[in-house]
Amino acid sequence: MNGAAHHGDRLARTPVRVSAEYEGIPGDIARGRELARGLLARSRAAHGTEVSDRAVDVVQLVVSELLTNACKYAPGPSLVDLELAEDRVEVSVWDSDPVLPVPAASDPGRIGRHGLEIVRAVCQTFEVHREAVGKRTTAVVRLADA
């Protein structure tokens, strides 16, 4: 068994996680994308995880869209959790607003408000759940291209 496969097996048994809190200030969305990029780069280097360039772009896009919504619509802090396990990364964003988001009807003429449409289109799963305080939005992205 080669080293990359061995490290890949270890990743399958032990998820890799990172979290960060954001306050809705300028630069938070860029910092969220950097958090995702860094986690995926470290996973490639340290664990030999297969992560396609497309997956890196999609995970950053998902973090950006979900964190943008949290900063725009929820008062107070938000929390981004990223977890790699097996062949996927789970992106989870908590915010203090209990109102569940509703994607707008598709309208190519509309300017803006396409974030949830995009996230739902590029992810394997997408869920939103109310919590004791606020809500948690979770999306799953496959690490390797199909």
Residue pLDDT tens, the chain, 146 long: 333 444 444 444 466 999 999 998 989 999 999 999 999 999 998 888 899 999 999 999 999 999 999 999 998 899 999 999 889 999 999 999 999 998 778 788 888 888 899 999 999 999 999 999 999 999 999 999 86
Amino acid at the residue 109: G
Report pLDDT for 146.
66
- Listed residue (57, 58, 89, 64) closest to 78, CA to CA: 64
| pLDDT attached to residue 14 | 60
Domain of 7?
Answer: 3-142
Domains in the chain, number: 1
CATH of the domain at 128: 3.30.565.10
82-to-36, 39, 45, 107, 127 alpha-carbon distances in Å: 7, 8, 17, 31, 15
pLDDT at 4: 40
